[in-house]
Structure 1
Amino acid sequence: MTRLFCISLDAAITMPSWRYQLPDNRGNTHIDIAPRLTVNGSHCAVEAAVQGVGVTQQLHYQVKNAIDQGDLQVILKAFEPDPIPVHLLHKTR
């Protein structure tokens, strides 16, 4: 990762490192990144990655269309964290 051009997200919840789960659930590791480009929206990071600026770490739903269309591919799949179920409640009006 330290040799790749990285695209980071500048938001309140982002960190200067990217977290990866070690294969076989042997724990987590954090890799410090020196971004080539920092943007303020996930859609901007995805578009920059599609344009070949570098790699980015985003949530699956943020890159699903680009992956489905063949514009992006998942790298380091073996290091992805386990999926976490999400349940949404919606109050009717």
Structure 2
Amino acid sequence: MTTQRIHVSGKVQGVGYRDFVVRQARTCGITGWVRNTRDGRVEMLASGDDEALARFVDLCRGGPMLARVDHIEAYPDDERPAKGFTKRFTA
């Protein structure tokens, strides 16, 4: 099991990006959470096996129709998310 903290920048707020991420996470079997940040990015904590996590990050590069992903930064994290994948309030 691998956990990554992921930051996504671009046009990712106000376009349904978090809902898109929740659907993709559930499809890939990823646990964790997603939230907007005050600086206009989206932050995620995602945990799963290496293959599923790589697929999930790749899917997050697309986003919903109105989104535009300019950059994704992912790095290892020690936090272990609870079961499921949820949306959180803005941090």
Bin for the TM-score computed over the shorter chain: under 0.3
TM, length-normalised to structure 1: 0.26
Q: Structure 1 or 2: larger strand share? A: 2
Q: Normalising to structure 2: TM-score of the pair?
A: 0.27
